[in-house]
Structure 1
């Protein structure tokens, strides 16, 4: 591992990489696209596409079957990606990982290794400013009371590994998981009390439950290190995720509220598997559509 880091650092020169701070100017946000929604494209093609559309950053998906899955994302592939990111002036603020706080002992051990693997990918992509990682929490809403104590212990283990690896894990509330509300998410953070555990904010999961946008931002943005954005229709019992602009979310209001709460950083489109697994899904067309909606709203919000 040391050899790999040394190779990437010396051969590519991380000082030349675009910085997250530059892309997200003080007091503003930068638009990004999660490559979770571009599984069928090669990593090179996905990066080129996002840059051409106008995105400032991308989230790499480290999930099984994706081009940046750690076991297939070789040292050489990482080196090429670093070169391409620099040439395209794209940032990688975050890595998507698939973890669960309700996993059994065997799966939990694998989760801890996944955190270590993701931390290594992060260092290989940018040793000076490694991207953080984000994940949902698992479980079901109805089992929260029975599972929350065990989830705290699992999260403490995640935090311990993250602290050793000098990385941050931003956990996300999900309408279909045990951690489905701002209050449950903050309760977990309060029990663990680790700077290595922070928040990924995704309003779509709260909108489906009738949770007010302003209230959710007020509660979570102080601990938020990363934002996912998408639309949704239905309710907590039966829902369908949509692309930004296809639902009821007022993105001018959304970006105005982010500004009022002082958020500066990435706002990244997450295309749900409910969408990209449908026949005929076109990742390039989706990315273009989302950027048009969000860039227009961002401009109107000032």
Structure 2
């Protein structure tokens, strides 16, 4: 096990270095859009739209019902997507998967199969440097103490499969899940002690709880392999996610803090289901509005 982990550290660089390296060469983070927010568009249309808007990378959503759900994302479709990504000069740093660390036995088996299927998609998309996976953790904030030991055991089983597949899962704290704070997220990861388990940072979930931006970055960015960004209104008890620029987040401050902490990887817009499930949602308009807000703020960072 130690040898495998050492291999992950050295040979794979957590499977996320290409996006990081290109962004670092440009001197800052690269903006991306998660196709979680473009469920209604054909994949080729979604990729073309993101490139035309000016995004540097995209995240594929492998969740049920999405165009890139593994069982319906054929080998030919994967090859076409790889060719289109290259032609559009879009990078693919991450794959969204939907899993829970509080699942029953059937759910646990399903999660392990999900990881295996996602790893195959990752290899098909980029055999040399496969995109990583990212997921939330499930559960509820009030059940943390009762569930945390079981979550550790499930995460250990995830880590075994992920290490075997030679990739990384970056897990995310969520305002509505058992893992809702930087401290809980780090505690969970530290119990497993696998380089295959890292962090997805999403400040919107902390902002709703009144957690300081700088403090959350200080704790999590050293372990962060991927960033989601969106806005929000309300508090932990009652909230609504928004597009970047529609809420209270100061993105000049945000990108300045990322620069201070040396983060130069993907910053990817995640449109919440609270938004894209509303009647009249326009994925292209959402992508354009989000890019304008983030690119405008990023341009002001000295």
TM-score, normalised with respect to structure 2: 0.93
Counterpart residue number, 2:214: 214
Structure-2 residue corresponding to 1:191: 191
Partner of 1:9: none
1:24 matched to 2:23: yes
Residue 125 of structure 1 is matched in structure 2 by 125
**Post-superposition shift, 1:234?**
0.4
Q: Deviations over 1:160-207 (max 9, x none)?
A: 000000010000000000000000000001100000000000000000
1:169 touches 1:198 (CA, 8 Å); kept in 2? yes
What is aligned with 1:181?
181
Q: Provide Cα deviations, 1:106-130, integer angstroms capped at 9, x if missing partner.
A: 1100100000100000000001110
Moved more, 19-28 or 247-256: 19-28
TM superposition shift of 1:23: 3.7
- Cα deviation digits, residues 188-240 of structure 1 (max 9, x gap): 01100000000000000000000000000000000000000000000000000
Give the whole-Å Cα distance in 2 for the aligned partners of 1:127 and 1:35: 21
Q: Counterparts of 1:201 and 1:267 in 2: how far apart (Å)?
A: 9
1:116 pairs with 2:116: yes
Which residue in 2 is equivalent to 1:288?
288
Report the Cα offset of residue 32 of structure 1.
0.1
Kept in 1, the 8 Å contact 2:57–2:93? The answer is yes
> What is the CA distance between 1:24 and its match in structure 2?
1.3
* Consecutive unaligned residues in structure 2, runs of 5 or more: 1-17
CA distance in 2 between partners of 1:124 and 1:63 (Å): 17
**Partner residue of 1:94?**
94
Q: Per-residue CA shift, 1:50-80, capped at 9, x if unaligned?
A: 0000000000000000000000000000000
CA distance in 2, matches of 1:209, 1:118: 32
2:67 is matched with 67
Q: Is the 8 A contact 1:23 1:91 kept in 2?
A: no
C-alpha distance in 1, partners of 2:288/2:252?
18
Hey, what does 1:34 align to over in structure 2? 34
* Contact 2:20–2:266 (CA under 8 A) maintained in structure 1: no
Counterpart of 1:300 in 2: which secondary structure?
coil
Name the CA distance, whole Å, in 2 between partners of 1:90 and 1:23. 11
CA distance in 1, matches of 2:64, 2:189: 27
Instruction: Indicate conservation of the 8 Å contact 1:182/1:216, yes or no.
Output: yes
- Quote the RMSD (CA, aligned, Å): 0.8
Task: Report the number of matched residues.
Answer: 284
Counterpart-to-counterpart distance in 2, 1:42 and 1:253: 35
CA contact (8 A) 1:23 1:56 kept: no
Distance 1:293 1:52 in 2: 16
* Contact residue 241 and residue 275 of structure 1 kept, 8 A: yes
Given that 2:32 and 2:58 are in contact with CA atoms closer than 8 Å, whether structure 1 keeps it comes out as yes
Instruction: State the TM-score, normalized to the length of structure 1.
Output: 0.93
Could you tell me which residue of structure 2 aligns to residue 11 of structure 1?
none
Find the aligned partners of 2:271 and 2:61 in 1 and give their Cα distance: 12
| Alignment match, 2:8 | none
Matched with 2:269 is 269
Q: Does 1:84 align with 2:84?
A: yes
Q: Shift in Å at residue 21 of structure 1?
A: 4.4
Q: Shift in Å at residue 22 of structure 1?
A: 5.4
